[in-house]
Structure 1
Amino acid sequence: MKPLVACLLCLLPAVAVAEPLRLQGYAEGEYVRVGSPSAGILAHVAVKDGDRVAAGAPLFALDAVIERAARDQVRADLERAEAQLADLGKGKRPDELKAIAERKAEAQAALRLSEATLKRQDVLARADYASRARLDEARAAVERDRAQVRRLEAEYRTALLGARPDEIAAQEAVVGQKRLELLKADKRLADLAPAAPAGAVVEKVYYRPGEFVAAGQPVVSLLPPGNVKLVFFVPEPRLGALRVGDAVAYGCDRCPPGEAEVSFIAAQAEYTPPVIYSVESRDKLVFRVEARGRAAALALNPGQPVDVVVPGK
């Protein structure tokens, strides 16, 4: 049985292992172009071509006089709205409460006088010394003075309270709106002086102080180290063995060899890729492949020729 199995195994075709594929490629950079969403005069540039900047470092600033004044106006409006809201939660001032209390004391004194007058008129009317009309007038005066005392007592209680809940809710809405307006004003002001989104090399400064910059127009172009990638082109027969995440080796003139990881494989074929002009490959289909540094960013300059070795499988 064993000789038969061995014989059958001998009949199976040997699995061929492809040789490593040596290709020519180049480094390419994905630039971050920083501008402002607002137009304005360029007031200051903090960097120059070739500088290395850290994340958060200032890059440039547009003239901000108008935006700063607008922000200060919104801040003042917010402070006024907050003060009004705080005032609605309080009662009347002490002097106002004192004035109400004094009017209430006067009304109580008038009530005591009208009650005493009513008693005298009642006695006189019983003895037929006063008319019924005078008695009715005294009774009306008492009712009037009692109503005045009740009104002032209610006014004093109300003065101790704050505003009505609906008034407070409306003012709270105004305060919230002013806070949002202040956030927008702060954002517009910050947009006039953007900072570096990441550590990078300044590739190009496009404007100089005093020049007018249109809204959205880049002022500085940055190249973060992680935005450098390898670009090479794989022949169609070897494409099936290559997957995103595979490792490739690379090297260049007078630089240490390194390893990159395949991050992109084109879905459509091309003919001879840029910067490769060999007659042998001119009529062959190739696919664009991109790779990025594995352990660290690629220490390459955009446009730099690179030799790439794709391991055989």
Structure 2
Amino acid sequence: MTRSALHACVLALPLLVGACTAEPEAKLHGYAEGDFIRIAPQQPGLVTETFAREGDRVARGDQLLRQDATVDIAVLAAAAARIDAATARYDDALAGARDPEIEAVRDLLRQALATQNDAAQSLERSQALFADGHISQARLDTVRAAATAADARVDEMRQRLNIVRLPARADQLRALQAEIAAAEADRDAARHRLDLRTVSAPVDGRVHRQLRFAGEQAGPAAPVYELLPDGAVHAVFFIPEPSLASLPVGTRLRVNCDACPADLAATLTTIDDAAEFTPPILYSDNERARLVYRAEARFASDAPPPGTPLFLEPSQ
């Protein structure tokens, strides 16, 4: 090779290298990622039982854990007792006075009638004596006043008998009904809190990790299980900028990994709007292959475990 030819090759070498780096890679690199959910009680408390272990499959509604519910049971019993007491007071007010109370008022009425009868006879005699001049006007007035008082006493006892036969006033009955409703609301709230002491699986899936055990405290900020729902594993990979236009959302991809079946496929579902960079570079046309976009794809069949390295390429 002549000196001029060698010089031409040396000058062309950077261009050839730049052209090679600009070519997109045939395979896309990524990994499997799981959308885990954490299972925690809605209220703090002591865990008394756990029903699943790491690796167990659970179905929606399966019980996973139970908390100590001693206080909630006592609160529920107290609310039920208040309902019984308020209901009894309402029934008593609605029924009016009891038979012995009514009979006691009747006795008072009979006494008043007897007194009225005696006062009427005494008034009749006094009027006759006054007409004959045997008693004074003052004596007659006294007897007449006693008869009037006896008549008023009879009227009073008749009214009292009517009242004791009636139920309580409408306002009093409404107040008792409100008391019953408040006690029932307390009971429902206590029952709900008691139900929350038992936690069940919200979806079908697999127990990935158990974070707390029986005898430990758990609550909204202290979960007991980490659950991987069925279908919650997806592929995360990075698309070089030069390949972005050839990989639109909806592209079907072949997926390869050490434990993947030969026909495993995934569909490209999302591509981030913002680009990511590999270690700091001087941005230029020749270096733009280092500019990548994070993307996700959903598997068409059983997915590999989260964390599995993946190689993806468009299906032909």
Q: Shift of residue 309 of structure 1?
A: 4.7
CA-based RMSD: 3.1
1:46/1:60 contact within 8 Å kept: yes
Give the letter aligned to residue 217 of structure 2: F
Identify, as 1 or 2, the structure richer in helix: 2
CA displacement, residues 8-58 of structure 1 (integer Å, 9 cap, x when unaligned): xxxxxxxxxxx9x85333322122211223333321111111111111111
CA distance in 1, matches of 2:308, 2:139: 116
Instruction: Determine whether 1:302 maps to 2:309.
Output: no
**Cα 1:190–1:129 shift into 2, 3 Å:** same
Q: Shift of residue 216 of structure 1?
A: 3.0
Give the letter aligned to residue 46 of structure 1: F
1:51/1:201 contact within 8 Å kept: yes
Q: Shift of residue 227 of structure 1?
A: 2.6
Residue in structure 1 matching 2:138, options 133, 137, 140: 133
Give the letter aligned to residue 273 of structure 2: A
Structure 2 unmatched runs, 5+: 1-23, 280-285
**Cα 1:213–1:98 shift into 2, 3 Å:** same
**Cα 1:114–1:44 shift into 2, 3 Å:** same
SS at match of 2:95: coil
**Cα 1:77–1:302 shift into 2, 3 Å:** same
Q: Shift of residue 281 of structure 1?
A: 9.1
Query: What corresponds to 1:277 in structure 2?
Result: none
CA distance in 2, matches of 1:157, 1:241: 95
SS at match of 1:290: strand
Structure 1 unmatched runs, 5+: 1-18, 274-279
Q: Which aligned pairs between 1:132-281 and structure 2 lie closer than 5 A?
A: 132-213=137-218, 216-236=221-241, 239=244, 246=250, 248-252=252-256, 253-254=260-261, 256-260=263-267, 262=269, 264-272=270-278
CA distance in 2, matches of 1:242, 1:126: 130
1:30/1:227 contact within 8 Å kept: yes
Give the letter aligned to residue 208 of structure 1: F
CA distance in 2, matches of 1:185, 1:172: 20
1:250/1:309 contact within 8 Å kept: yes
Query: What corresponds to 1:119 in structure 2?
Result: 124
CA distance in 2, matches of 1:28, 1:202: 16
Instruction: Determine whether 1:38 maps to 2:43.
Output: yes
Q: Shift of residue 64 of structure 1?
A: 1.7
Instruction: Determine whether 1:287 maps to 2:257.
Output: no
CA displacement, residues 137-175 of structure 1 (integer Å, 9 cap, x when unaligned): 222222222222222222222222222222222222222
1:250/1:258 contact within 8 Å kept: yes
**Cα 1:148–1:232 shift into 2, 3 Å:** farther
Query: What corresponds to 1:12 in structure 2?
Result: none
1:38/1:216 contact within 8 Å kept: no
TM superposition score normalised by structure 1? 0.78
SS at match of 2:104: helix
**Cα 1:65–1:177 shift into 2, 3 Å:** same
CA distance in 2, matches of 1:154, 1:310: 98
CA distance in 1, matches of 2:160, 2:126: 32
TM superposition score normalised by structure 2? 0.77
Q: Which aligned pairs between 1:43-58 and structure 2 lie closer than 5 A?
A: 43-58=48-63
Identity %: 31
Q: Shift of residue 214 of structure 1?
A: 5.4
**Cα 1:138–1:213 shift into 2, 3 Å:** same
Query: What corresponds to 2:79 in structure 1?
Result: 74
